[in-house]
Each structure stands twice: as structure tokens, then as C-alpha cells.
Amino acid sequence: MDGFHSLSRSLIEAAALSLLATALLYLPPAQIAPRLDGWLFDTWSKLEPPPAPTDIVLVDVRTPDSLTTLAKLAKRHSARLLITTESRRPATRPATDLWIGPTEVALGAARSRPTQWPRGGHLWFPPDVDGVIRADQELIGDRGPIPSLPLYAARVLAADDPTATLTEPSPNQRLRFSAARSFLALEERQMLDQPELLEHNVVIAGSADATHATPVGLVSSPELVAHMLANYREQRWLGSGPFTALCGWCLALLLLAPLAAGLLKTRGATASWIGGSILALLGASALGFVGLDLWLPIAGPAAWLVVAGALLTLRQRPAHAVTRVTEQDTANLVDARRCAAAGRLLEAWGIYRRVAPNAALLPELYDLAMTLATQDHQHEAAELYYRIAQVDGRYRDVAHRLVRSNHPPPSGAEEAFTAPETLGRYQLLEPIGRGATGYVYLARDPVINRIVALKVVDLSFDYDGVELESLSASFLREASIAGGLNHANIVTIFDVGQAEGLAYIAMEYLRGQHLSDFATPDRLLPVDTVLDLLGRAATALDYAHAHNVVHRDIKPANIMYDSVSDSLKITDFGIAKLIDANRTRTGVVLGTPAFMSPEQLEGKNVNGHTDLFALGVSLYQLLTGHLPFRGASMTKLMFVIANEPHQAVTAVRADLPKWLDGVIDRALAKNPADRFQTGAEMAAAVRQGLAKAA
């Protein structure tokens, strides 16, 4: 049932987000979707264009005198109808009453003007958003509807032919164009030399200059009228409108159904299905156009299908997490369940870790985690909660338990947790901790169902509003730079942004404890463990410094360690610099002064040497449980850091190896030039010492 609800929510959210994204394609000025549909219409128009009628002749004449001459020839050779697209009438009465002409012509994009032709229709065809003419419609004038010139001509021809029927199209129907230049076209000289070509034909006269954009290219006014007249006479209209548009959306929904039902188990299969679905939409549109005389606009449905499918694909579990139970998994599950039933919970936990989690396993993983937590195995319980959250972050109250198993509730958290349900696109689930400038929350990215830690910073805290906009831009820029770091021992930043007056940074959610939890004499970690962890931290700093990123606030509280997975992560890269710029303006010293280098306390420009000094202070504290520099006041502490030597680490703790004195002496040198020049150099010194001791 949980899986069904999760799937339903994912489908609804994906459909809503994708509809919103698709709607943007229809908005002006770009109107991308209508333009794409127009391009498809033009493409299908060229697939199998219907043949042009052989009884329509185009004549290139441009002057009233030429029209008079053409009228005489047409009457002599019994032409059926004479149509002109020229707005100027001959000064003398035409020699025949066969003439019809444009009674209204375009005057700019939004207006028309009447002409002197007594019979005929308008010659004003508003194009689509891309400037291409694809339909004909009546013009609403002061005296009622005015038919187009080709429609008027079709009515005249139908009235003269008792066997002809004329079914006029609805406003939603579109033209089916013949191929370009497929009508018989004569120049004026050819008309004089071969007047018999006019015999019993419909003659359309006018300028042969190509000025109208159509699906088959630029055409002249006479040729455009010929295409439209052929549609009326041969009933070649394409059905279109709300019904055909709805058909496209229904087809897209039908193609999305297998994704919504979860029938496709891998991202590769899903991507292939989406690609095939787009081809199916294109095929349906082409078949409807050519075979059924229907126009199915599919740009919007196709875009919706791609976006919705992509969102559902991102929410799918990776291939390794798909329910695909092997014989080994089955054997492991049997053993794990037996151990759990016998009360051997840690053994059961160890076996479950070898099985890829899936939705079917969530209930038993949750129950085991609950039992482990009641028996004070918080680390193991947290690991199981985390595995559950990776499959479904909304499963029961797993978010709350995951946070509480890793972090004690912040002071007054239950009362202080009044943040909105969402910030940006993130759903806030639980408060993890509170800092000087904001909160850290457990959050969920609903787009890809990922659990993240969301650090929320109030940039206006203790800051005048004059330069807040500049500070906000700096925050986003610096956080983005930090987000470019990709190292196993540096927390990954997924996203940065601003919403509701707050800046936020979405980063990977870390399990374990801050190293500050092991910085007191009664809770020290083994020496080899401390040295290994600080060596990894030094390597991570070396990587960051090589990418021109300085942390500025290295201390045990900003280093996370998970003993279960033996992972170490440095947090808050790039953030300290921004908050420092804010807080320094009010005269408040940022962070923990005990970890600051002499040059940092003096307000000088800092670089990687400052981070390595702070790492040396952290190493000293994690080995002894004491800080190397102490003072009864801030002024005294700053003086000690800048001027007085620290006590040798082996004098504080006699069981430490002597070589550590040299490492820490160099790390805590007052002059940056006397310290380790790179993190890699410091890490190498620590590891060489470990190798000698071994």
C-alpha cells in the first residue's frame, strides 16, 4: 500500500510539474510549441501533396490594361471564371462579367481596406505565430462576414455547376497544399501566344511575385488563391481543432501509462520507451495528416511526455536497487530473518547490509532498526533508516528517526520548528541543528526523491540592508564554487538558491558524529584512528586549495566521521567566507578563535596555510582533549596564538610518539612560511610517521 501511494504521489507530482513546464512552451513571445507544430505541419505537407487541379491557370499580369486584354481573350475562349488578386480595377468596364476580385486587401498586420471591385472576397490571410499561412477564414466587417476571395470563387463555380456540391469548412480546418509550382502558370506573352490554354479553365491573374509564406514555401497571391480554391472544390480540408488536440494529449497519456504503472524497471528501458513514444506520436501525426486528413498537433503532448517521463525516470531506483532477488540474496534473507528471530540483532543487521534494499524489504528493515534503537545500537539503526530513506524517503516516520538517531534535537527544536513546509523545491522534514545564522534541516528533493541536508542561512542577520543584494549574489557565487568540489572527503553540494528571503544550500545528508564529540579527554579516539582521519582531511584540503577554495573555519565540529562506514567528510566549504564578510562588519569575530591562525586574527588575507594551521589545532585537540592555545579573554587568546609557543603534545600526553611533536610544531608555526605548504605535504608527514611506528 505504501508503494502504491508513493507511486501515485510520484505520478501526480511528475504530471503537475511537467504540465507546468509544458505550459511555458505556449507562452509568448517565444510560443515554442505552436512553432514546432507549425514546422511539423509543413513537413507533413511535403510528404504526399495532392495533385494540383489541371483546370486552374495562373497568369502573370500586373496592370489594368493587361487585365482588360486578358478579359477579352478569356471571353473569346470560354473561360469559366476570371479571378484577379490585383486591387486596382481597369478604368473601363471589363469586357466580361466573369471577373471577380479582392473586395478587401490587407493594410498592415491588423487592418484591411476596401477596393473598388464589386464582386469577390477579401484577400487578407492572417498567418500563424511563425508567419506561415495554413488556413482560410471569413473576415468580420461592418456589414457582416466577408468571404475570402477563393471561397467566393468556389461559391460562384458551384452555382454554375448543378452537379457540384460545396461543403464549407469550419474555422478550425486547415489547408491541404499541393506541391509548390504545380499549377499551370503563364506569363503575359505566353497568354497572347497561346490563348487556347485559357479555354474552359479557371483563370487567376495577378503578380507572380512570391510574397506569402506557406507550408510549401513562398508563393504568389494567385498561387495562394489557387491552393485555397482547390481545397474548396475538392474538399481537401484537414480536420483540426480542440478534438484533434485532445486526441494528441490522450495518446501521450496512454504512452505514459506503462511508466506510471512502474512496468519499466530500469532507466535504460524507460529512456527507450520515451524515445519510442515520441516516434509513435510523430507517426500518428503523420498518418493522421496523410491518411485521415486530420491535423494532430503533438509538440505540447510530446514535451509533456518527455518531461513527465524524465521526472519519473529520475525517481526510479538505480538498477542495482531494482527488486531482482538472486539465489545469494535469498539465502542472505533467510539467514538474516533467522538471526533476527533468535535475537541476534547485530548479526542480522550485518547480513541485511549485503542485500540490496527494495520496497518489499522496507517493513522488516524498519522493524529491525526500531529494535536496534531500543537496545542502544543507534549507529546501526541509523544505517538502516538511511537505507530505507534511499528507497523511499517518505516511508512512515523514517525521516524523523533518521535525524534523531544521528543528531540530538537542537535546543527548543520542537517549539522553534516553524519553518514553511517547503523552501524552494525542497520539502523540510526535520530540524537537524541550529547555528548562529539559521537552521540545518533534513529535507527531500521531490524531483528525484533524494534526502538532503538543507542549510538555511539568513543573510540579513546583523547586516544593514544597503548591501544585502550584493551579499546575496556573493553567497550564491561562492557556494556554487564550493559546489564544484568533487572529493570523497568533502561533503557534496547539490544545489544553492534563495527563497522567501533566505539563502539555502542543499548538500548530501551525512550520518555519524562530528569529531568535536571526540575532543574531550574522556572520549578520545585511538591515536591511529585520529591520525588516519586527519591525514584524509589534509588530503581533502589539498584538493580544495588546488581549486582555489579556502575553508576558513576548519575545526572538529566541521568534520563528520561515521565509524560504521569509516567515512570522513569536511562540511561547510565556502560558507565561512561569506558569513565572515557579513559578521565582521558588526565587529563580531567569526567562528572559534582558538582555531584561527595569527594572520587570520589580524584580518590579513588568508589562504591554504590558514586551513592547515586550523587542522593542526584540531589534531592537537583530538589527540589530547585540550586546545594548544588558551586565554582567559579574547584579547589574551589572540595574544597567545600570535606570540606564545604551544606546549609539546607529548608533554600533555606521554604515550604519544615523539615524531608527532615535529608534525604539530610545523603545523602550528607562527609564520606561514614555516608551516606545511600543502595539505598533501602534511598528510605525507602523518602517514610517514605512522609507517615508521608500525
Alpha helices in 116-212 (DSSP H): 149-160, 188-193
CB atoms within 10 A of CB 266: 15
Only one residue has cell 579573554, namely 633
Architecture, CATH, for domain 321-402: Alpha Horseshoe (1.25)
- How do 81-84 and 202-206 pair as beta strands? parallel
Residue with cell 483540426: 240
Q: From CA 266, how far away is CA 319, in angstroms rounded?
A: 6
Nearest 5°: the CA angle 198, 202, 207 is 85
Region(s) of the chain under CATH 1.10.510.10: 513-694
Taking the C-alpha atoms of residue 333 and residue 353, their distance in angstroms, rounded to an integer, is: 10
SS3 content of the chain, % helix, strand, coil (to 5): 50, 15, 35
Give the 3-state secondary structure of residue 484.
coil
pLDDT of 430 reads: 81
The confidence score (pLDDT) of residue 103 equals 87
Angle between the N-to-C axes of helices 378-391 and 398-406, in degrees from 0 to 180, rounded to the nearest 10: 140
CA gap 121, 87 in Å, rounded: 11
Query: In which element (H, E) is residue 212 found?
Result: strand 212-214
Q: Which CATH superfamily is domain 411-509 in?
A: Phosphorylase Kinase; domain 1 (3.30.200.20)
Torsion sign (Cα): 651, 652, 654, 658: negative
Cell numbers representing residue 559 in the block: 568534520
Q: Which residues are 499's β-sheet partners?
A: 502
Cell 584580518 sits at which residue? 603
Neighbours of 494 (CB within 10 A): 15
pLDDT at position 489, please?
93
Provide the 3-class DSSP secondary structure of residue 619.
helix
Beta bridge partners of 690: none
Domain with CATH 3.30.200.20 in the chain: 411-509
* Degrees, nearest 5: CA angle 16-18-24: 110
State CA 435 to chain mean position distance: 31
Report the distance separating Cα 517 and Cα 525, nearest Å. Answer: 10
Looking at the chain, which residues constitute the CATH 1.25.40.10 domain(s)?
321-402
Specify the pLDDT at position 460.
Answer: 62
Show the low-confidence residues of the chain (pLDDT under 50). 1-7, 95, 317-324, 412-417, 466, 578-591
Nearby residues of 313 by Cβ (< 8 Å), 6 or more positions away: 259, 267, 270, 271, 274
pLDDT at position 578, please?
45
Quick check: 105 and 212 in contact, CB under 8 A? no
- What residues contact residue 474 under an 8 Å CB cut-off, 6+ apart? 578, 581
Residue 616 CB-density burial (10 A; 0-12 exposed, 13-18 middle, 19+ buried): buried
Instruction: Give SS3 for 637.
Output: helix
- Peptide linkage before 29 cis (omega within 30 of 0): yes
Architecture of domain 513-694: Orthogonal Bundle (1.10)
The residues that bridge with 81 in the sheet, in sequence order, are 202
